[in-house]
Amino acid sequence: MQLVCVSRGEQERGKDFAQTLAHKLDFECLGQEELADLAVQEGIAVGKLEMAAVNKRHLTERQVLEKEHFLAFITRVLCERVLKNNLVFHGRAGHLAVPGLTHVLRIRTKIETETHTEEVMSRLSLDRIKAGKYVERVDEDISRWVRTMYNISGDPWAGYDLAVNLDRVDVEGATTALCSFVQLPEFQATPVSAKVLENLLLAARVRIALARDERTWAASFSVRAEAGHLTVSYLPRDMAVGVRAPDVVTKVSGVVDLTCTVASSNILWVQEQFQASGRTFDAVVKAATHWHSAVELMKLIPAPTGSSSADATDRDTGAGVEPPPPLFTARQVDGGIEDDTERSAGLIGEDDDLRGMFGELNARGIAGSASRLPDDMRRIRAAVDRSIPYSLVVVDEVFLNHGHAARLRKTRELVGRLGEVISAPVVGAEDLDQMVRTSWSDFVRMIAMAAIVVVVFLLVFSHQKEILEFFSPTTAGAKIVAAFVLLLAVPVFAVMYGTLTGAVLRLFHVE
Amino acid sequence: MPELIFSDFIALDLGTALQVVLLGFIGGVLSGFIGSGGAFFMTPGMMNLGIPGVIAVGSNITHKFGKALMGSRKHGELGNVDKKLAIFLLATSFIGIRLAVWINTELFGVADAHGGGKGAAANLYISLVFVCILSAVAISMLRDIVKSRKEEGPSRKIAEALGRMRLFPVIDFPVAGVKVSLWVLASVGLATGYLAGTIGVGGFIGVPAMIYVFGVPTAVATGTELFLAMFMGAFGALNYVIEGFVDIRLVMLLFLGSLVGIYVGTYGTKFVKEVVIRLVTSIVILLCVISRGIAIPVYLRQLGLVGFNETWVSRLNVASKGMLFLAGISGVVVIMFNVAKAYRRRESIRRSLAETAGLSNKN
């Protein structure tokens, strides 16, 4: 069940590298081209989709559906093969198609532009200038493809475990060295990764079934699976089609139960213990209802007591002094083997508070998905599916078995890490409360702003002639003063009245 | 001809003021719904109320400045603004705005042989640019809708040709993830500025140019355009106020409607499919173009270039105004109808979920 993903662009040498590595490891080998052929057989217009992504076009609604179908197809193929065999996939950023799978070895091969140009010159019989332009264009196209397909906003070539420069080492030497690297515990499959694979596979199968069915193909769906518990969410504008989803989903084998949610975005709520009452719950429900969002629950399972010296220090001292960084963290001493017993990513059904919370959210029509994860930064970061449009991330009480100082530090670190992978505000419970609640002070501020707006209107409309005369300057000095006043007054009025309007409309759930 | 209160500014009674607020609201809804624009409705709407075209454009561009400030703040928080790209576009857009203000100001002073018809030349010029540009925009939007139904994307011929030409120097924009020739940037900036200064509509050129010619992602194109609009609006407002063509009363009345409308329009995008959004927009724009086209003979008559009976002037004015309000109101009704329908359906789903949960709790 090992997976090695080689991002090699269009380089022939990268393809050789992946095939040789697979041969030496006795792994199955799958290339981007073969995957694209399989997708075409599935009925996906891969060529058109590729052209749309590469040619800088924004995707049409139909192409977005095609993209969802294609991504689910890639995930299905990779998961099916990895569950049967060990696999080397070579092509474009295959690891992004299996979010949450932490044992993937992500390799990027590269060769110098000059060498690549020469390769292209001999392969395509082009002169140096044309070959150089071709290489530059192909690299840009691939970056664009990865960005469009996986919603990556930054450098698509970041986030690899290894970069192999095939100009410095030959394929034979590089693959021989990597055979040992692949054996490291970090890249071995565990029961946890098997569960993740099964979840991804089921979600992908369901998404494909929805894309294949003539009743549901025309809507955009987001599908999450957790041990047979399916959560399917669709956009408010797709409601007419989305209501037919249960008929299709329940026919897919492996589906235990189904939750359907209408949502235009997701709110990720990270906490250690969920309670269906209290200020955070009320605030999350209010935000999700107003914003038409689905709430995704991520329950963090704390590390066992005494797993790290730093944590122990914190617990003893209680708070205040930041301890020195530990020599070995829990992650370092486990040799890369993920904890599969006490802190496993388990079933929703096995977890009373998570199940209870999910039920409460479901009753309100805002349930997204629910998952359990160890409180390990790497696992949390890897579990985030970047293709999901998050509108907000709420981090409430986490790292509770740590001392006050360590809890604050770790929470801050978690907020930072989540902020790196999710382009939405990451807030704490108090900030969320302020965002959704209209307090008395808010009312007072609204009334004050409304009063100022009314006074400004009264002043302007009771002195129309004078005001118009002021803004029709004839002398140079008067022109400067009029321009200055206009450039100052207009934005101040716009921001004040705009804020007031937003606050008033929020009271009527228009946000 | 409406009564003047001072210089070329009309007297505003309650009815006219409410119509300006309504124009702002409809423009705001359309603006929030499409992601940019709104001026294509407000500028001709004000002209239909008897406001001289130059003052309508000057007031509208001042209003655009404040509106863009609100919008770009949100987009900035989401990282959708490529400031480097905006700065490059700004440089030439200022030249475009200045050119537009100069032409409009010069034409405003043109009168017929008897000294009458002041402002008619500017009105005619603004209307002609409006009709030509917005007809092209509406037709290309309708063509895109037809093409996307056949699974084809919008034409990329221009972008591909420019890409092949590789006009140096080429500037790299990391936030948007594109490389664009300085000459192409300068041309787009100039065109956007000129149109913003002439008819108050810049986003209709800036956003498609950024998406289709530069290859900028849609969200970044919208965010960058709003950021750009803020400075273009400020520069345009500065130029028009110096010439004495900004009616601050109109700016405030437009804000009154548009800032509410923007929230409503943006809310509507959650419930309406993209193809419907584009269809509604293109039809509304086409109707606005027809409305402006109907008004053109009136300006020709004021300049003494054509002659017809006085009664026809009022008939044409009423027809132009009626067509414009029909376009705007029907667009808003379609949006609100879809929002209400989706809201009702969502509530019924929520009720049935709550009932199911209630039953299972009892069991």
Min Cα distance B21 → chain A (Å) is 13
Is A243 close to B349, i.e. CB distance below 8 A? yes
CA distance A138 to A126: 15
Instruction: Report the 10 Å Cβ neighbour count for A139.
Output: 16
The A residues from 265 to 304 touching B (CB cutoff 8 Å) are: 292
Q: Give the model confidence (pLDDT) of B5-22 as tens digits.
A: 777 788 888 899 999 999
Phi first, then psi, for residue A267 (nearest 5°) are -115, 125
Min Cα distance B196 → chain A (Å) is 17
Buried b (16+ CB within 10 A) or exposed e, A216-251: beebbbbbbbbbbbbbbbbbbbbbebbbebbebbee
Best residue in A59, A420, A468, A511 to probe B by mutation, most B CBs within 10 Å? A468
CA distance B124 to B302: 10
Q: Give the model confidence (pLDDT) of A118-133 as tens digits.
A: 888 888 888 888 888 8
Mean pLDDT of A315-338: 41
pLDDT exceeds 70 at position B206: yes
Min Cα distance B154 → chain A (Å) is 8
Is A471 close to B241, i.e. CB distance below 8 A? yes
Best residue in B12, B170, B232, B263 to probe A by mutation, most A CBs within 10 Å? B263
| Chain B residues in contact with A495 (beta carbon < 8 A) | 66, 69-70
Q: Give the model confidence (pLDDT) of B168-178 as tens digits.
A: 777 787 777 67
| Chain B residues in contact with A487 (beta carbon < 8 A) | 234, 237-238
pLDDT exceeds 80 at position A30: yes
CA distance A146 to A156: 6
A475 Cβ under 8 Å from any chain B Cβ: no
Mean pLDDT of A293-298: 87
Q: Would you state the structure tokens that stand for residue A401, as one six-digit string? A: 């078995």
CA distance B340 to A239: 13
The predicted structure's pLDDT at residue A398? 87
Interstrand relation of B9-10 and A3-7 (parallel, antiparallel or unpaired): unpaired
Nearest neighbour of B353 by CB, restricted to A48, A362, A482: A362
Best residue in A453, A472, A479, A496 to probe B by mutation, most B CBs within 10 Å? A472
Confidence label for A308 from pLDDT (cuts 50, 70 and 90):
very low
CA distance B16 to B23: 10
| Chain A residues in contact with B238 (beta carbon < 8 A) | 483, 486-487
Q: Would you state the structure tokens that stand for residue A227, as one six-digit string? A: 């041990």
pLDDT exceeds 90 at position A23: yes
Is B256 close to A239, i.e. CB distance below 8 A? no
Q: Would you state the structure tokens that stand for residue A424, as one six-digit string? A: 């939405």
Q: Would you state the structure tokens that stand for residue B352, as one six-digit string? A: 């049935």
Q: Give the model confidence (pLDDT) of A357-381 as tens digits.
A: 888 888 887 888 888 888 888 778 7
Instruction: Report the 10 Å Cβ neighbour count for B165.
Output: 11
Confidence label for B246 from pLDDT (cuts 50, 70 and 90):
very high
Instruction: Report the 10 Å Cβ neighbour count for A415.
Output: 16
A501 Cβ under 8 Å from any chain B Cβ: yes
The predicted structure's pLDDT at residue A329? 38
B345 Cβ under 8 Å from any chain A Cβ: yes
Share of chain B above pLDDT 90, in %: 13
CA distance B40 to A429: 43
The predicted structure's pLDDT at residue A309? 40
- Cβ pair B99, B194 in contact under 8 A: yes
Confidence label for B75 from pLDDT (cuts 50, 70 and 90):
low
Q: What CA–CA distances, in Å, run from B55 to A153, A346, B89?
A: 42, 67, 26
- Cβ pair A30, A88 in contact under 8 A: yes
Could you identify the residue written with the tokens 């409705």? B41
The A residues from 29 to 68 touching B (CB cutoff 8 Å) are: 45, 48, 51-52, 55-58, 60-63
Is B342 close to A58, i.e. CB distance below 8 A? no
Q: Would you state the structure tokens that stand for residue B46, as one six-digit string? A: 């004000």
Residue range A263-436 forms a domain whose CATH class is alpha beta
Average pLDDT taken over every residue of chain B: 80
CATH topology for the A3-187 domain: Rossmann fold (3.40.50)
B263 Cβ under 8 Å from any chain A Cβ: yes
The segment with the largest mean pLDDT, out of A71-75, A107-111, B116-120, B230-234, is: A71-75
Nearest neighbour of B156 by CB, restricted to A55, A63, A264: A55
Instruction: Give the residues across from A108 on adjacent strands.
Output: A7, A163
Residues with Cβ within 8 Å of residue B27, at least 6 apart in sequence: B38, B39, B41, B42, B45, B254, B257, B258, B261, B328
Sequence spans of domains, chain A? 3-187, 263-436, 440-507
> Which chain B residue has its CA at the smallest distance from A62's CA?
B151
Cis peptide bond upstream of B169, omega within 30:
yes
Confidence label for B78 from pLDDT (cuts 50, 70 and 90):
low
The predicted structure's pLDDT at residue A320? 39
Is B234 close to A487, i.e. CB distance below 8 A? yes
A473 Cβ under 8 Å from any chain B Cβ: yes
The predicted structure's pLDDT at residue A27? 93
The segment with the largest mean pLDDT, out of A3-7, A159-163, B193-197, is: A3-7
- Cβ pair B26, B274 in contact under 8 A: no
pLDDT exceeds 50 at position A346: no
Name which residue leads in pLDDT, B347 or A298: A298
The predicted structure's pLDDT at residue A240? 77
Listed in sequence order, the DSSP H helices in A229-328 are 239-242, 245-249, 279-291, 309-317
The DSSP secondary-structure symbol of B156 reads -
The B residues from 201 to 240 touching A (CB cutoff 8 Å) are: 211-212, 214-215, 217-218, 234, 237-238
The predicted structure's pLDDT at residue A324? 39
Chain centroid, CA B298 distance in Å:
24
The predicted structure's pLDDT at residue A72? 94
Of the candidates B52, B59, B56, B60, which has an alpha carbon nearest to the alpha carbon of residue B110? B52
CA distance A410 to B61: 49
Confidence label for B256 from pLDDT (cuts 50, 70 and 90):
very high
Torsion-angle region of A9 (φ positive above 0: left; ψ -120 to 50: alpha; else: beta): left
- Cβ pair A429, A283 in contact under 8 A: yes
Q: Would you state the structure tokens that stand for residue A168, as one six-digit string? A: 């410095």
The DSSP secondary-structure symbol of A108 reads E
- Cβ pair B327, B291 in contact under 8 A: yes
- What is the DSSP code string of B82-131? -HHHHHHHHHHHHHHHHHHHHHHHHHHT---TTS--TTHHHHHHHHHHHH
Q: What CA–CA distances, in Å, run from B7 to A26, A472, B114, B219?
A: 87, 8, 20, 43
> Which chain B residue has its CA at the smallest distance from A490's CA?
B66
Min Cα distance A199 → chain B (Å) is 25
> Which chain B residue has its CA at the smallest distance from A423's CA?
B78
Q: Is there a shared CATH topology between the A3-187 domain and the A263-436 domain? A: yes
The predicted structure's pLDDT at residue B1? 62
Instruction: Report the 10 Å Cβ neighbour count for A337.
Output: 11
Q: Give the model confidence (pLDDT) of A490-503 as tens digits.
A: 989 988 898 888 88
